[in-house]
Amino acid sequence: MSIKGKAYIAGIYEHPTRHAPDKSTAQLHAECAKGALEDAGLTKADVDGYFCAGDAPGGVMPMADYLGLKLRHLDSTETGGCSYIIALGHAAEAIAAGKCSVALITLAGKPRTGPMPPRAFGPEVDFEVAYGATTHNAYGMCAMRHMHEFGTTSEQLAWVKVAASHHAQYNPHAMLRDVVTVEDVLNSPMISDPLHRLDCCVVSDGGGALVVTTPEIAKSLKRPLVRMTGHGESLKGPNGGRKLDLTYSAGVWSGPPAFAEAGVTPKDIKYASIYDSFTITVVVQLEDLGFCAKGEGGKFVADGNLISGVGKLPWNTDGGGLCNNHPINRGGITKIIEAVRQLRGEAHPKVQVPNCDLALVHGTGGLLGVRHAASTAILERV
């Protein structure tokens, strides 16, 4: 069953806070839900499907009860940072199958306030924990391998941060609003060779929410119409110790079915929201999604090619995770929100893409250098 044209994003909300010591995580979820429903012109009484992930306190049951929802469909798929892009696809599938008609998706967390929730270890822990893998060195390992294989340079990676900063200067809520140069990135402290501090995303409190609904309800709300036309999801891991190529992500499998279902190609995309936990994450995913050949990502992002109004592929025009917001270290939902803003024509005028009618949202969840999930969604303005 195809989801093409069968589900619309009717409401979006990004929490403006980046530091919330005075709020509980559940309260942030509730405020995001309220904001997205108000944006759609709906109420919680209209919601009959609820989607959340591992950031929801206690999981889907207590969170839905806290929000006062009466449901006939629920989903708590947990895949880290791309959980909400997967949730968007699952919500579209549920709506297409008649399992619900108004789906609410919420994210919230407080890693900046701290402490971070304890990590849930999988069956691999006994074999891997001794090697001391962290988020930073896992991505640094991928960056170093990409440089070795393809000649990618630190200067090229820095251009990803430069593009993000050019966009963030227009976002009043962005954590980092100062425009930086390639030299600024290269002169920032080394975190995990070859990644510098400015190659790394921000850590923020906050959250976001989406409302996904049927075409009939969406058209009755008198809001700009944005519909789902394609979706894909996939996994990649070490596969029991077999050889692991660090230069590609699970996007090589999540992208093609999304493009095929939507009936478009990377050349058709007017705007891209792509998960930017680190600068190398963006380079690898652009290659895997077909915006450039494998190994050409460094050249593709260089010289301002991701800057709206300057380059060929306007990208993360809110400043992304590198400059704007990365709530609970899970950036997928903010990628969807900015893509919807672009398609509605509601992005900041300085970064709004002219005649933006087709957008891609893509993200990963987990560690790029170890095991992770990926999800790709194609959105269209009607």
What phi, psi does 130 have (nearest 5°)?
Answer: -65, -20
Query: Which pLDDT score, from 0 to 100, does residue 219 have?
Result: 97
- Tens of pLDDT, residue by residue over 68-121, are 999 999 999 999 999 999 999 999 999 999 999 999 999 999 999 987 766 666
- Say what the pLDDT of residue 123 is: 78
Helix (H, G, I), strand (E, B) or coil at 371: coil
Element (H, E) at 374: strand 372-381
User: Pick from 228, 359, 364, 360: which is nearest to 285 by CA?
Assistant: 364
Mean pLDDT lowest for which of 8-17, 25-34, 242-251, 332-341?
A: 242-251
* pLDDT (average), residues 178-183: 98
| Domain ranges in the chain with CATH number 3.40.47.10 | 5-111+203-222, 132-201+226-379
pLDDT at 124 > cutoff 90: no
Rounded alpha-carbon distances, angstroms, from residue 325 to 64, 112, 192? 25, 11, 22
Q: How confident is the model at residue 376 (pLDDT cuts 50, 70, 90)?
A: very high
Distance CA 103, CA 81 (A): 20
Give tens-digit pLDDT for 199-256: 999 999 999 999 999 999 999 998 999 999 999 999 999 887 777 899 999 999 999 9
Q: For residue range 285-311, list pLDDT tens digits in order.
A: 999 999 999 999 999 999 999 999 999
* Mean pLDDT, residues 337-364 taken together: 98
Distance CA 180, CA 70 (A): 47
Closest CA to 145 of 308, 297, 349: 297
pLDDT at 117: 67
Per the listing, tokens 């006994």 go with: 126
Other beta carbons within 10 Å of 355: 8
Question: How far apart, in whole angstroms, are the C-alpha atoms of residue 91 and residue 104?
Answer: 8
State the pLDDT at residue 119: 66
pLDDT at 240: 75
Looking at the domain covering 132-201+226-379, what would its CATH class be? alpha beta
pLDDT at 125 over 80: no
Q: Which CATH number applies to 5-111+203-222: 2.40.50.140, 3.40.50.1000, 3.40.47.10, 3.90.79.10?
A: 3.40.47.10
Q: What percent of the chain has pLDDT over 90?
A: 89
CB neighbours (10 Å) of residue 80?
22
